[in-house]
Structure 1
């Protein structure tokens, strides 16, 4: 059976492999090779204003995208309204045509109901 032993505690800032711990900034330095134009590393004092500008740019892009979507929806709704208006106009014209006396007489003739050619007669009843 093996003996119990104590594990060695890691010092702050070191990885378990013994090298320095990688942070976001070291990753950025490695991937972008910023030492060439920034010198030693990424200046931390520039991060808040740059992140604020990035946030403003994202808000601008989002609002522009929503505005374009809203314009597309409005144009689609306007086209639909125009189509419905044309349908209503057509139906009104058909209704007005079919409710004319001559058209009603033609449909009633199919049921063998004909128009009177003489005026109506008043019937009087004596009490």
Structure 2
């Protein structure tokens, strides 16, 4: 049986990747030769704080949008209920409907028109 061997392809050596390009042209190793450069620390902390504030603001905005959508749906439901109740009350206040409801109490609708009572000065 033959032994497994590793073969280097000619195509891989000619191909250039983005990371090899970045590694060749930007030398980050030079910055960290003597340890972490303290002069960049305030900038890094500032950018990190701004990033955290930005992420928090996005979450807050999405939460507010969800609340607004939920309240809009609730308002639409309440508006529909209001319109239904308003139509029921408009129907219930008709003279014929009131007469039907008070009939159970023994009240009857008057067939005579109302009479105007005139009171003279000093009579009362």
Give your verdict on TM over 0.5. yes
Stretches of structure 2 that go unaligned for 5 or more consecutive residues are 1-28
What CA distance in whole angstroms lies between the structure 2 residues aligned with 1:107 and 1:59? 64
What CA distance in whole angstroms lies between the structure 2 residues aligned with 1:84 and 1:56? 41
Stretches of structure 1 that go unaligned for 5 or more consecutive residues are 1-34
SS at match of 1:49: helix
Equivalence for 2:7: none
For the aligned residue pairs, the C-alpha RMSD in angstroms reads 3.1
Is 2:78 the counterpart of 1:95? no
Is 2:65 the counterpart of 1:71? yes
Equivalence for 1:57: 51
What CA distance in whole angstroms lies between the structure 1 residues aligned with 2:54 and 2:117? 84
Name which of structure 1's ranges 58-67 and 38-47 shifts more when overlaid on structure 2: 38-47
Equivalence for 1:117: 111
* Structure 1 runs (4+) greater than 3 angstroms displaced: 37-40, 117-124
The 1:114/1:43 distance shift into structure 2, 3 A limit, reads: same
Give the TM-score of the pair, scaled to structure 2. 0.59
Give the TM-score of the pair, scaled to structure 1. 0.58
Once the two structures are superposed, what CA deviation does each residue of 1:6-26 show, in whole Å capped at 9, x if it has no partner? xxxxxxxxxxxxxxxxxxxxx
Equivalence for 1:105: 99
Q: Tell me how far 1:76 sits from its aligned partner.
A: 2.1
> Matched residue pairs, number?
92
Equivalence for 1:31: none
